[in-house]
Amino acid sequence: MSNRNRRAFSILAVSALTLVLASCSGDKPGTGGGDDLSWEDSPISKAMGYDGGDFSQQDQEEAQAEMDEQNRKMEELVASCMAEEGFDYVPNTNNGGSISYEPAGEETDPLENARQNGYGITTGWGPVTDPGVEEEVYVDPNAETYEAMSESERTAWDKALYGTPPEFTEETDMEEFEYNWEDSGCYGVAQHEVYEVENGQEGLMAVYDDPQWAELMEEMTALYTDAQNDPRMKELNTKWSSCMSEAGFDFANTEEAFNSINDRLNKFWEENADDPEYTGPTEEDLAPIKEEEIKVAVADYTCQDEIDLQNESMRIQFEIEQEFVDQHKAELEAFAAALEAAEK
Whole-angstrom CA distances from 250 to 142, 257, 280, 310 are: 48, 9, 28, 20
- pLDDT score at 95: 73
Task: Quote the CA–CA distance of 283 and 344 in Å, as a whole number.
Answer: 50
Provide the residue ranges of all domains of the chain, joining segments of one domain with +: 3-130+193-343
- pLDDT score at 34: 37
C-alpha closest to that of 296 among 224, 333, 243: 243
Rounded to 5 degrees, what angle do the CA atoms 252, 254, 258 make? 110
- pLDDT score at 319: 95
- pLDDT score at 339: 85
CB half-sphere exposure, 158, CA atoms < 13 A: 10
- pLDDT score at 169: 64
Averaged over successive runs of 10 residues, the pLDDT of the chain (344 residues) comes to: 41 43 41 61 84 55 86 96 97 75 63 93 64 64 95 96 79 66 94 83 82 92 89 96 98 96 93 85 93 97 96 94 94 89 76
Task: Quote the CA–CA distance of 159 and 163 in Å, as a whole number.
Answer: 4
- pLDDT score at 33: 37
- pLDDT score at 273: 83
- pLDDT score at 207: 85
- pLDDT score at 47: 85
Query: pTM of the full predicted structure?
Result: 0.67
Asked if 11 contacts 50 with a C-beta cutoff of 8 angstroms, the reply is yes
- pLDDT score at 315: 94
Task: Quote the CA–CA distance of 188 and 86 in Å, as a whole number.
Answer: 17
